[in-house]
Structure 1
């Protein structure tokens, strides 16, 4: 039984230190992608100064457009006609108003990205706690199975049977959550890419 539990733990990667996929400097960052805690507009924007354009939230039409094109429900191929329509009615301050649109898009997407990164951190903490619990369960199963009362498998104590059931269930949950990491870890990068693409579209119209 010890060998069986050990193999199960090795399959989960639980015996190699941290409970997550790869060793990282930040134990709460389980992703292969490098962690960038927050973005600055300058990473994607080379247009006019955002502060000089004025508060984007005070420009109703600019704010409305920013929120619409920042949303991932809006396909990127629909952003161009939306920007063109806005530019046609923006008036003499077209440049400033388009800059406000970008400021709004940046704030919305950066805020969403920050929430995702915080969620990944909580996710990693939960996985680490579950990994520790699975290790404890494996140790208890081994101790129970190797006890004097367990010489005959047919006389396996009820406690050991319940522990094995819990161990198998926790292991399954851990593996399923680990598999979902691939998608979760891609979300910050996808948001960065969307932000960069929208920035290029807006700058092309200044």
Structure 2
């Protein structure tokens, strides 16, 4: 049995490998927008919309239609993620802070790729750690898998490493959706909150 520290270290390495792998998998879908090199901003085909029917962290049935009329900053991950997900969600929260009052025009949303462990009650405790307006979404695995697939999110549950405290390989992108649930921009993992906020502000 791996120690907790060893398991977390393995998960970080796996997640980093997954990021590189996903860049290759999505390479044909992602095109650099006309922004300064190295900003971490990419644009994608408009067909990446991912309609869904899930449960939010309060237990309410939620679809993409519930977010019509407001822009959404969307992230896929899992709550037991030791490093990648918390860093991305902290950056998302910092981008909201950088937006100031304009942040009220935007909704942060977290969709789990590990619904068996990320129950509604567990998500309720998790999302409040990052932003008071964040919505956490879970549901039957076939439904979370479907929306992840629509957004070209790579993820693989690694019960071969540990059947209980398993890591999940996954890609790490943050998606900006418009008021009609059309994809506007994608931010790569590691995009600074300042760059993210500036790009969002131009589109509010």
TM-score for both structures, normalised by structure 2: 0.25
TM-score for both structures, normalised by structure 1: 0.25
The structure carrying a bigger strand percent of its residues is: 2
The structure carrying a bigger helix percent of its residues is: 1
Larger radius of gyration: 1
